[in-house]
Amino acid sequence: MADKKTIAALIIFLIIWPIIFIGASVFPFPVQVDVVSKQVDQPLPITDPDSSLWAKALSKEIPLGAQTVTKPILATPSISTITINSLHNGSWIAFKLEWKDQSRDVSTVGTENYQDAAALQFPILEGKPFLGMGEEGDPVNIWQWRGDWQEDINDVYQEVEDTYPNMWVDFYPFSISEPPYIIPLLETIDNVAVPGWAAENPLSQPIKVTPISDLIAEGFGTLTFKPDQKVIGRGVWENGVWKVVYARPLDTGDPSDPQFIVGEEKPMAIAVWNGENREVDGRKAVSAWLTMKLEGSSFLPFSISIDDAFATVAFVGTAAILLQKPTRYVK
């Protein structure tokens, strides 16, 4: 029969222990990390979503929900899940998103056209601001890949004539000869007659280096291009699946950028637009805030604080003392 004192101590322990944790606002179990950036010692596949190096990454399927906080809302997400992978080599970090989409929508030239797109969001300051593109005084950095920009880079800048081949124009500022006009090469055009291009509006640039926009926002309606674009990548559609890579140096030295530190956590979120479903702006599928951690030399696939560690040690130690077999002494 168990010692009565041991039983009594165990009962007291089971009553008191939860109160200790509630009062301290801690729980003795670690919080699971949603996204792990796997460390490798090779150059990253920063523009290659099909590289064999991605096999070393830890793949994670993330559920998505509709954005219903502000107009235009999306009642039901047309894309309900997305898969994310991440790699880093101590200097750069790369993410790969992969999702099913039966249509390849890569044009916004026509008013009836909507593009496929996807974005990653990171808080710039500590903590998690409002999920909907941050809040005043607590901005977020957004990396948005755009299908139409990818098509401009893959093929050639999409002109209105590509969407409406039978259109007729009376006059072009850069026209050559007589109608039908021949448009000269972009690099030979003086952009003085194209105000958006001349003003260096990123949306008006016909020659693009990357299909990813490096943006900053402090809430709905505040999205702005960062002066220095640091994110590169590439998207590929094949057999009804989009694969998109994003890459950037871990540390940019810019206080308006989130910095990634090996061994530490960083909140992040994901958004996806399905052009076939006429999704644009707030009409998008979004994830909740996720926890991403960069693998390092002392990496664990979960987060645990000092308080959690102390409480866990105390829990195990107390249980060991209470449950040990009583020692019998022989006179």
Amino acid occupying residue 129: P
Q: What's the confidence (pLDDT) of residue 192?
A: 74
Average pLDDT over residues 253-278: 96
Average pLDDT over residues 27-49: 81
Task: Tally the residues of the chain.
Answer: 331
Tens of pLDDT, residues 73-99? 998 999 999 999 999 999 999 999 999
Residues 133-156 pLDDT 10s: 999 999 999 999 999 999 989 987
158 — pLDDT class (breaks 50, 70, 90):
confident
Prediction pTM value:
0.77
**Cβ atoms of 246 and 212 closer than 8 Å:** yes
Residue 288 CA to residue 65 CA, distance in Å, equals 8
**Residue 191: per-residue pLDDT:** 77
Residue-wise burial string across 95-109, b where 16 or more C-beta atoms lie within 10 A, e elsewhere: bbbbbebeebbbbbe
Residues facing 176 on adjacent strands? 182
DSSP string, 198-242: HTT-GGG-SS-S-SEEEEEESSTT--EE-SS---EEEEEEETTEE
Name the phi and psi angles at 162, rounded to 5. Answer: -70, -30
For residue 156, CA distances in Å to 110, 186, 235, 236, 313 come to 16, 10, 16, 16, 62
* pLDDT confidence of residue 306: 39
Confidence (pLDDT) at 116: 97
Q: Can you tell me whether residue 162 is helix, strand or coil?
A: helix
Cis (ω within 30 of 0) for the bond into 267? no
Provide CB contacts within 8 A for 51, sequence distance 6+: 45
Which pLDDT value is given to residue 319?
Answer: 46
